[in-house]
Amino acid sequence: MNILDKIVADKRIEVELKKSIVPVSQLEQSVLFEREPVSLAKKLRNSTTGIIAEHKRRSPSKSVINQKVSVQDVTKGYEDAGVCGMSVLTDGKYFGGSLDDLVLAKASSNMPLLRKEFIIDPYQIIEAKAYGADLILLIAAVLSRDEIKLFSETAKSIGLDVLLEVHNEEELHKSIMPSLDMLGVNNRNLKTFDVSIETSKILSEKIPDDFVKVSESGISSIAAIKDLKNFGFQGFLIGENFMKTENPGQSAIEFIKELEK
């Protein structure tokens, strides 16, 4: 069993437990559930930089990335830097995140927040909005076409944007449907954790222009972003590059200033 299979197996147990404790009706009574989500897709279409920054404490591939900075400080720093949106890891066991991180990020900013999670049940989509997310991530590698359709339509019905992540052409072909806003190409092989931005370049011409193209993982240089823009990418998810520094917000400010030159 590879790491992705392990994460999904654990996630199924976790979600069933949550469903038995907090019903959907309770989630829908959250103050945050009533708000109007902010669209990341619209922001990316109108942005000159397209940066989506991330809050991530650790990962299976890198163990500890940054356990010292607070979510509020990171969020405010990213917003000051002018990022288009922020990805918040909410998986606890493998990434050290939580839904509380999402709430604190929403309380600290007005920018679009992505709940970065292994979504395998519609319950998690309702949960995402109840805790302050503006959009969700769906990972094609762990979902069937029918699940992608159900989950993306569920998200759209409550006003959330949908970013669907693929790793290869096969996943892309099974995933394309009108209920998606953004198609992300993950440059990291989730089974081996090898990274190559060539993956984004290869798949770019196969993604219809109706969707905002997002490149994810392994993006650490201005040159890489400028290169990917030539392939039609408008969004760039940067995770560890900022978080591995002492002050992620300041790192984002310096990076974006350089990018805008």
Burial 178-210 (b: 16+ CB within 10 A, else e): ebbbbbbbbbbbbeeeebebebbbebbeebeee
Sorting pLDDT into bands at 50, 70 and 90, what band is 193? confident
Sorting pLDDT into bands at 50, 70 and 90, what band is 61? low
Prediction pTM value: 0.95
pLDDT at 69 over 90: no
Name the burial class of residue 113, with classes exposed (0-12), middle (13-18) and buried (19+) by CB atoms within 10 angstroms of its CB.
buried
Residues 151-159 have a mean pLDDT of 98
Q: What is the three-class DSSP state of 51?
A: strand
Is the pLDDT higher at 56 or at 122?
122
Sorting pLDDT into bands at 50, 70 and 90, what band is 4? confident
Residues 73-85 have a mean pLDDT of 97
DSSP character at residue 69: S
Residues 57-76 have a mean pLDDT of 79
pLDDT of residue 54: 95
CA distance 210 to 183: 10
Q: If you average pLDDT over every residue of the chain, what do you get?
A: 94
Is the pLDDT higher at 195 or at 156?
156
Interaxial angle between packed helices 122-130 and 145-157, expressed in degrees from 0 to 180 and rounded to the nearest 10: 30
pLDDT of residue 239: 80
pLDDT (tens digit per residue) in 230-245: 999 999 999 888 998 9
Which residues participate in catalysis according to the annotation? Answer: 54, 56, 116, 165, 186, 216-217
CA distance 69 to 73: 7
Q: Is the dihedral of CA 245, 250, 251, 252 positive or negative?
A: positive
The helix (run of H) or strand (run of E) holding residue 182 is: strand 182-186
Question: Is 202 in contact with 167 (CB distance < 8 Å)?
Answer: no
Domains of the chain with bracketed CATH: 3-259 (3.20.20.70)
Which range (20-24, 62-66, 78-82) has the least confidence? 62-66
Interaxial angle between packed helices 122-130 and 3-21, expressed in degrees from 0 to 180 and rounded to the nearest 10: 70
Sorting pLDDT into bands at 50, 70 and 90, what band is 58? confident
Q: Which two tokens stand for residue 96?
A: 């050290």
pLDDT of residue 64: 63
pLDDT of residue 261: 84
**89 backbone dihedrals φ, ψ, rounded to 5°:** -70, 125
Is the pLDDT higher at 192 or at 105?
105
pLDDT of residue 186: 95
Which range (2-6, 14-18, 71-75, 219-223) has the least confidence? 2-6
Strand residues in 79-176 grouped as ranges (E): 85-89, 113-116, 135-139, 161-166
pLDDT (tens digit per residue) in 24-34: 999 999 999 99
Q: What is the three-class DSSP state of 93?
A: coil
